[in-house]
């Protein structure tokens, strides 16, 4: 189950205000992710947001296609409300008002994943059954 991380360039000194915005965040209407044809292709499993000085990172844990995750998030009213509330604190302004504009921001802000470790990756994690 992969993770994705997207960055936000924020103005330093507003960590508490940004924290409050996320505390009031309206979650997505459903964790179920669908592709453009409406077929179920995955699920949002969780997310976390980290901030330090002028960098904020949102980590998304999901199943399925990252393209479908971006589409799903771009269609959520709560995500658009959050983006609107964050706008005054961003160091670089961006357009996320439409689902298409949000998806473009999502793609442009993705961090390159260099490692994703799960218990299945640990040496000796394979289970054997007595036969």
**CATH code given to domain 3-112:** 3.30.70.100
Per-residue pLDDT tens for 82-117?
989 999 999 988 888 887 888 888 888 999 988 888
Write out the two tokens for 41: 């292709």
Average pLDDT over residues 52-81: 90
pLDDT of residue 130: 43
CA 74/CA 28 separation, integer angstroms: 10
Q: Which of 23, 9, 13, 1 has its CA nearest to residue 111?
A: 9
Q: How far is CA 6 from CA 57, 75, 108, 115, 126, in A?
A: 6, 17, 8, 15, 32
pLDDT of residue 128: 43
pLDDT at 28 over 80: no
pLDDT of residue 13: 96
pTM: 0.80
Question: Which ranges of 34-127 does DSSP label H, i.e. alpha helix?
Answer: 66-74, 77-86, 99-109
CA 74/CA 4 separation, integer angstroms: 15
């Amino acid at each position: 189950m992969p993770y994705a991380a997207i960055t936000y360039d924020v103005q330093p000194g507003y960590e508490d205000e940004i924290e409050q915005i996320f505390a009031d965040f309206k979650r997505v209407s459903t964790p179920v992710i669908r592709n453009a044809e409406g077929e179920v292709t995955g699920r949002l499993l969780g997310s976390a947001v980290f901030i330090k000085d002028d960098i904020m990172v949102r980590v998304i844990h999901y199943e399925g296609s990252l393209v479908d995750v971006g589409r799903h998030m771009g269609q959520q009213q709560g995500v658009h409300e959050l983006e609107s509330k964050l706008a005054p604190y961003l160091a670089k302004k961006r357009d996320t008002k439409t689902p298409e504009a949000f998806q473009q921001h999502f793609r442009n802000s993705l961090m390159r994943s260099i490692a994703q470790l799960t218990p299945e990756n640990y040496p000796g994690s394979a289970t054997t059954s007595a036969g």
